[in-house]
Structure 1
């Protein structure tokens, strides 16, 4: 009976293979992987680690679909524990203390199991400590009379306030000292850590493999579920996007490594020079750096804004149904003038994107636009801060004030086309040819949307104000 296990930083594939004979160990699970794994008709699927940032997380419905097809699905330690706690009532088997804590409600935050880790070629070496491991270790220190309960509780609070990718015992000891924790207890904890540290996630992963082996030995046959799986148009579309290829081949292509029995994931918290689309990311950024600090800072802050927006969308559970996906894809094509299959293909080639890459890009863009709509007012306010920090505020403010003075004095703060004596097309041609120095966009509403405007009428008003200002002269009237 075949078994497929998704793991990574929690338990190396080689260690897992020594515990569960004959199982196929694959990199962390992402959306679509359980669906593709089920097509290979395994007896059981085990989930330890999974993606939650760089790629969409494994979908609950694909796990339900696997179980409806008789596959025993186990989860523990990390992403597996989260999904098992959510799907335990439907037949998913959760194993270990982390699963039990989530199922009982003692833990509720996904960041409890999240860590940063090195690249696949470095064996997924953890670069931070999981919150559940910190909790377990501090509890062990209390049990060993290394720490008082109140000291441990204070350290837990400090660790919980730290971003998951920056959590470590070294940082915790330093922050504990800064917060006034007992130096004697902290020294005792420092001496305790080398041998006393508890890797609860690994323990749970091992326990899951042992549970799979024990159930397999009893040969229970296919899993039987009590629910009826609902086939919907959204599910059909998701299946088509996931494809019907081998899950191992898909993950191998995703990681840029040989797929079988080898972990492969994008590095987190570390500088990567792995080739993507034939180009090393750092070499691309070097070209940006040559443009100067302003260009680089703007790009970094734009990426940070995207990261925070996507994090907020995930926190709210924002899904991207097929209808929204298609709408955003159509918007992206219009905004970039990709109005024919040929222009779209050329753009994909230029951006080093394949179909899967485009799908992930559009899904992220949909979540980003959701966040932009939710936080629109706050973003508009903080844009001024951004302009100040990038040195653009003074220049833009001076231009805006001068234009306002000129137009107010003339009584044409919102000039219409008849005020200008121009046709709509002539005004657009003036701006894009003479001022912007670029061709007229094929889709003006898309161009306007990219500028934060509702439609091309708002864009025309912005351009008309600039035209009238230049026509009347950029200097304000003289005093007296």
Structure 2
């Protein structure tokens, strides 16, 4: 079995991740974590980056990932910080997986704030909503004719301008000019149909790494 380390816990729980692939799961990556990992272990085969710290402490540096790549370690990223770093480093060999990685690559999103959320550092519980997840859900609401294109533009602009720890569907709707006659069905729609694109992409990262592992068994 390959030696696999995956940084997550926010986009997908450790328990769910372990049900997909048996690996060494660690909390969201921060500056210096990969350097320390490489110093402590000389037999790492794969590093998966899903979640990372954005503002609580410095984010994982590009040089750390490049060092892992130079040591012939496969580095796979997606969903959150992993998607951002994969978009920046895929020309150097980092592998990007999922919709959010493609959104960064094609310019749909362009900043770390677009995937940032507030978290409880003790439980890794998500305390706010990412802008990209709001966008994916509002896209579906528009397709279902719950809101118009202009409504969506206003809501996404409000969410974009909201400091990420305060960002939520409820806060965004409250700050908008939408009438109660629009907000009520939109809220009901989100409550019934809401999905988490970061969670979906996190699963894709783990499933991708699982395939790598199976090929090497």
Counterpart of 1:119 in structure 2 is 121
Query: Following superposition of structure 1 onto structure 2, how do residues 310-329 of structure 1 map, counting pairs within 5 Å?
Result: none
Q: Deviations over 1:300-357 (max 9, x none)?
A: xxxxxxxxxxxxxxxxxxxxxxxxxxxxxxxxxxxxxxxxxxxxxxxxxxxxxxxxxx
- CA–CA distance in 2 between the matches of 1:198 and 1:155? 18
Task: Compare relative contact order (CA 8 Å, sep 6+) and give the higher one, 1 or 2.
Answer: 2
1:83 matched to 2:111? The reply is no
Which residues in structure 2 correspond to 1:284-363 (within 5 Å)?
none
Aligned residue in 1 for 2:50: 48
| Change beyond 3 A, Cα 1:212–1:131 | same
Alpha-carbon contact 1:140-1:198 (below 8 Å) kept:
no
* Pairing 1:214-253 to 2, within 5 Å after superposition: 214-219=211-216
Alignment correspondent of 1:96: 98
What are the within-5 Å matches in structure 2 for residues 14-413 of structure 1? 14-20=15-21, 22-39=22-39, 40=41, 41-120=43-122, 123-176=123-176, 179=177, 181-219=178-216
CA deviation string 1:112-152 (max 9, x = no partner): 011111232xx211111000100011011112222222211
Instruction: Provide the C-alpha distance between the structure 1 equivalents of 2:56 and 2:180, rounded to a whole number of angstroms.
Output: 40
Specify the alignment match of 1:5 in structure 2: 6
Residues 257-291 of structure 1: per-residue CA shift (max 9 Å, x gap): xxxxxxxxxxxxxxxxxxxxxxxxxxxxxxxxxxx
Contact 1:38 1:71 in 2 (8 A): no
Cα separation, 2, equivalents of 1:59 and 1:117: 21
Partners of 1:110 and 1:10 in 2: CA distance: 15
Q: Is the 8 A contact 1:10 1:48 kept in 2?
A: yes
Q: Give the distance between the partners of 1:149 and 1:184, measured in 2 at CA.
A: 17
Structure having the higher helix fraction is 1
Q: TM-score, structure 1 length as denominator?
A: 0.43
Contact conserved, 2:78 with 2:202, CA < 8 A, in 1?
yes
Distance in 1 (alpha carbons) for counterparts of 2:214 and 2:143: 36
SS class of match (1:55): coil
Q: Aligned residue pairs: how many?
A: 214
Which protein shows a greater Rg? 1
| Residue aligned with 2:47, SS | strand
Task: Tell me the distance in 1 between the aligned counterparts of 2:145 and 2:210.
Answer: 37
* Structure 1 stretches of at least 4 aligned residues deviating more than 3 Å after TM superposition: none
TM superposition shift of 1:162:
0.8
